[in-house]
Structure 1
Amino acid sequence: MEFGISTFLEANPRTSSITHAERIRQSVEEIVLAEQAGLDVYAIGEHHRIEYASSAPAVILAAGAAKTNSIRLSSAVTVLSSADPVRVYQDFATVDAISNGRAEIMAGRGSFIESFPLFGYDLEHYHELFEQKLDLLLRIRASEKVTWSGKHRPPIDDLGIYPRAEQHPLPVWIGTGGSPESAVRAGVLGLPVCFAIIGGMPERFASLVKLYKDSALRAGHDPSKLQVSVHSHGFIGENDGEIADRYFPATVDLANTIGGERGFSAYTRQSFEAARSLRGATYVGDPEHVAEKIVLLRKNLGLTRFLMHVDISALPHRDVMRTIELFGTRVVPIVRKELARLES
């Protein structure tokens, strides 16, 4: 099982004075620390809102690649529907070169829609855009020269796409918030999948994991070789109650702003504590509590990778760095020891 950090580089002007430039520089520091703490992955999600500084994940990952040796570097996600798959492949092949073969792409449709009008795409084509662009991306990673045509991008006629990634094939994950359609697509293609579980009870995703693996089996893939990841929010400190008291106020503005846009009910302390409980989807507390939750997640979903989303902009960066350190040096050893005991 692999463990990593995911981030959207939050720099929310409503709750913090940090600039986008400062947050980007901090991210490179986090990549270095994550490797030093023994974590396996650092992933940056692409966003185009004022609350986030992560519109160009590959550029930041390349900066981190130059300062590290072993940690894998991924998007989380690349909004493929509103991107050019040729450029996406070229960007991550470049990260792959700088990192000596540690780059990954997590492709998704995105949980926000800002990139569609920004880059001139019609939301009426939301599903079709992703399907066609994923097809092109997978063709590019499979072959140096590509011939392709679709409805939403000019055709390519036997053209070479460079540089080529050192890894062959360059890893491409499917990122999803829990859509059955996405689980089936990932399974049919035999691609690893990452479920963003940010609410409710993670155990409910067991049916989607089964759907994913069943779809893969029917398509001729070996389910035992498939990778399943989960991305969830988390924050770690030495004292369980104190860390919860510090994390809750930092989440309220963003949760209620975005939730309000989507018609969700108000985020309260009661809903926070439910999410922080053993069967909830938020991994906030001391190392032992967080480790216990991850072990349960492994039992319920059989995941092979866990990504903890750590940054909420109202939190001091030193606390984000401490969370990364505790995750790698305290939580992961507990989880590995317990899994070894359970699975021996």
Structure 2
Amino acid sequence: MEIGIDSFAAFLPEMQDHTSAGAAQRMADLLAEIETADRVGLDSFGVGEHHRAEFLDASPAIILAAAAARTKTIRLNSAVTVLSAADPVRVFQDFATIDLISNGRAEIVAGRGSFIEAYPLFGFAREDYDALFAEKLGLLMQLREETHVTWQGRFRPALTGQDVYPRPVQDKLPIWLGVGGTPASFARAGTLGLPLMIAIIGGSFERFRPLVDLYYQAGEQAGHKREDLKISIHAMGFVGETDQEARDAFYPGWARVIKDIGRERGFPPPSRAQFDALCGPDGAFLVGSPETVRDKMIAADATMGGISRITFQMSTAALKTDLMQKSITLLGSKVAPAVRDDLKA
């Protein structure tokens, strides 16, 4: 199992005035956190894409390119690229460039996004939400196979044999399909033979097992080998010295973000009891001591029938960078080796 971190580049609580100085410092902290993740032996670091005031990840490829020049072994990916509102040619070029800078460590996680701001911002209609994604995903997959591309679609001007450069270091630039809980999305990933990144931001891991089975079933029916299909889990996670320390650190920022989103979407405000349940044995939050987090990761692997990668979404808590650095270090130095040893055994 690979173990990594995903970030949305959230602002720290004391910087909610969103001054340029605060934003610059947060970006510097994020790059330092990626360097730490690389140094302690974690496998991947992902940067999301949002177009909202509380996040700094509107251009994840640029952040990842900066990180590529400062790291050595960690794989770098989007988490996710909002492909429906992007130009697949530009996405491919951006990540091929990151692949060159990193010497073969770039990956794309393509998704539709859980927010809608990107659609009007870039001139797309929300009503075309799925059609946009299906068409652009098809083009993106063709771009990684062909240098001279002939293609025609509904939402983008046709390509009539143009050359698309640069080409990446990797023979086949990895493309993961990022999904939430829609069965059709799981089936699409399986049919296309793409690895699956599942965003599990609440509930339990067990609830997603039928959807994972659907993914494998669709993949095998489409002629893909089971061993070529793999899943990744993106979950809320944070490691502290003790369970109480981790929960007390993570809860305030998480509650603030969920409250703000809930106000927009009509959800009730979160409670500490709800949060503690999600951190408990049956919940999907990987928040706790190294031992607790290890045990939950091993249990999640068994529940899902094998997980290729688990990534921790820490930045929603908007913690100060010293706490983030400590958690990243604990994850890389204590949790990751224990999980790998247990799975080998």
- Is 1:115–2:118 an aligned residue pair? yes
- Is 1:304–2:311 an aligned residue pair? no
- TM-superposed deviation, 1:16: 4.4
Deviation per residue, 1:188-217 (Å, 9 max, x gap): 111100000010011111111110011000
- Is 1:33–2:36 an aligned residue pair? yes
- Is 1:205–2:208 an aligned residue pair? yes
What amino acid is the match of 2:116? I
- TM-superposed deviation, 1:260: 2.2
Contact 1:291/1:331 (CA < 8 Å) preserved in 2? yes
CA 13–266 in structure 1, closer or farther in 2 if over 3 Å, else same:
same
Contact 1:147/1:155 (CA < 8 Å) preserved in 2? yes
1:21-60 alignment to 2 at 5 Å?
Answer: 21-60=24-63
> What 5-or-longer segments of structure 2 have no aligned partner?
none
Cα distance in 1 for partners of 2:74, 2:92 equals 20
- TM-superposed deviation, 1:51: 0.8
Moved beyond 4 Å, runs of 4+: 12-18
Equivalence for 1:327 = 331
What amino acid is the match of 1:53? L
CA 23–290 in structure 1, closer or farther in 2 if over 3 Å, else same:
same
The DSSP-based 3-state class of the residue aligned with 1:5 is: strand
Equivalence for 1:5 = 5
Total equivalences in the alignment: 341
Query: What is the CA RMSD across the aligned residues, in angstroms?
Result: 1.3
- TM-superposed deviation, 1:20: 2.5
Out of 146, 150, 153, the residue aligned to residue 150 of structure 1 is 153
- Is 1:281–2:284 an aligned residue pair? yes
Cα distance in 2 for partners of 1:190, 1:197 equals 21
Cα distance in 1 for partners of 2:155, 2:12 equals 33
- TM-superposed deviation, 1:251: 1.3
The DSSP-based 3-state class of the residue aligned with 1:312 is: helix
What amino acid is the match of 2:321? H
Equivalence for 1:184 = 187
Out of 106, 109, 118, the residue aligned to residue 109 of structure 2 is 106
- Identity over the aligned pairs, expressed in percent? 47
Equivalence for 2:65 = 62
Cα distance in 2 for partners of 1:210, 1:299 equals 13
Cα distance in 2 for partners of 1:259, 1:230 equals 23
- TM-superposed deviation, 1:164: 0.7
- TM-superposed deviation, 1:38: 0.8
Cα distance in 2 for partners of 1:20, 1:128 equals 35
1:177-326 alignment to 2 at 5 Å?
Answer: 177-301=180-304, 302-312=306-316, 314-326=318-330
- TM-superposed deviation, 1:314: 4.0
What amino acid is the match of 2:163? G
Contact 2:12/2:320 (CA < 8 Å) preserved in 1? no
The DSSP-based 3-state class of the residue aligned with 2:161 is: strand
- TM-superposed deviation, 1:21: 2.1
Contact 2:49/2:60 (CA < 8 Å) preserved in 1? yes
What amino acid is the match of 1:338? D
- TM-superposed deviation, 1:15: 6.8
Contact 1:183/1:209 (CA < 8 Å) preserved in 2? yes
Cα distance in 2 for partners of 1:92, 1:242 equals 38
Equivalence for 1:87 = 90
- TM-superposed deviation, 1:13: 6.2
Deviation per residue, 1:211-269 (Å, 9 max, x gap): 00110000000112212000011111112212212221121110111122222222001
Equivalence for 1:160 = 163
Moved more, 304-313 or 265-274: 304-313
What amino acid is the match of 1:23? R
Cα distance in 2 for partners of 1:278, 1:260 equals 29
Moved more, 321-330 or 244-253: 244-253
The DSSP-based 3-state class of the residue aligned with 1:231 is: strand
